């Protein structure tokens, strides 16, 4: 009985540790590096989006939001996306308006995110009102 209880507890702890290890977090070095880069880049209007039912993605989005706001960027909070399959297996998707070529002023931001280890991909969305605005979509982990 005691050995069986121990095994069950060990299994539950292992599952919990594996789940937590998949959480994306900005560590202190990443945060400081991104903050430093953002402070010298020209600001761009941005919306951060995360899947509504994904606690891990929303937490990561909130961390990114805090850094952008601290750097003085006009970020419009974390908008919750009700569609759970958007951007599956994408850490971060940096999107411009559909049909718009990626403006040169967006490249330094893309580079800054990648430099600190934020796995970022480019994309497009019809949801943006103008060619200068960005959407930073934090995808869910499958």
DSSP code, position 125: E
How does pLDDT run across 34-48, given as a tens digit for each residue?
A: 999 999 999 999 999
Q: Assess if residue 104 is contained within a domain.
A: yes
Assess contact for 61 and 50: CB atoms under 8 A. yes
55 three-class SS: helix
Quote the pTM value.
0.81
- Give phi and psi for 54, each to the nearest 5: -115, 100
Confidence class for position 23, pLDDT limits 50, 70, 90: confident
54: in domain? yes
pLDDT, mean of residues 22-30: 90
Q: Which two tokens stand for residue 136?
A: 């930073």
Q: Phi and psi (nearest 5°) for 72?
A: 90, 20
In a domain, 21, yes or no: no
The candidate with the shortest Cα–Cα distance to 93, out of 27, 81, 69, 82, is: 81
- pLDDT mean across residues, the chain: 85
Mean pLDDT on 17-36: 82
Q: Is 62 a member of any domain?
A: yes
Q: Is 43 helix (H, G, I), strand (E, B) or coil?
A: coil
**Given phi > 0 = left and psi -120 to 50 = alpha, else beta, which region is 12?**
alpha
Place of tokens 């299994």: 11
Residue 19 has pLDDT above 60, yes or no: no
Domain with 64, as residue range(s), is 26-138
In a domain, 9, yes or no: no
Residue 98 in contact with residue 124, Cβ under 8 Å? Answer: yes
Q: Is residue 85 part of a domain?
A: yes
DSSP-assigned letter for residue 81: E
- The string of pLDDT tens digits covering residues 73-124 is 999 889 998 876 666 667 899 999 888 777 888 899 999 999 999 999 998 8
Q: Number of structural domains, the chain?
A: 1
Which has the higher per-residue pLDDT, 93 or 141? Answer: 93
- The answer as to whether 30 is a domain residue is yes
pLDDT at position 65 is 98
Residue 72 has pLDDT above 90, yes or no: yes
**Residue 1 located in a structural domain:** no
């Amino acid at each position: 009985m005691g050995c069986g209880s121990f095994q069950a507890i060990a299994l539950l702890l292992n599952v919990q540790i594996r789940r937590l290890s998949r959480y994306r977090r900005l560590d202190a070095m990443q945060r400081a590096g991104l903050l430093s880069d953002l402070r010298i880049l020209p600001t761009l209007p941005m919306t951060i989006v995360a899947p509504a039912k994904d606690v891990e993605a929303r937490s990561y989005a909130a961390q990114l939001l805090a850094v952008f706001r601290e750097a003085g960027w006009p970020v419009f909070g974390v908008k919750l996306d009700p569609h759970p399959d958007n951007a599956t297996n994408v850490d971060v998707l940096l999107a411009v308006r559909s049909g718009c070529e990626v403006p040169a002023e967006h490249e330094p931001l893309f580079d800054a995110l990648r430099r600190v280890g934020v796995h970022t991909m480019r994309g497009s969305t019809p949801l943006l009102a103008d060619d200068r605005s960005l959407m930073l979509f934090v995808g869910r982990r499958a």
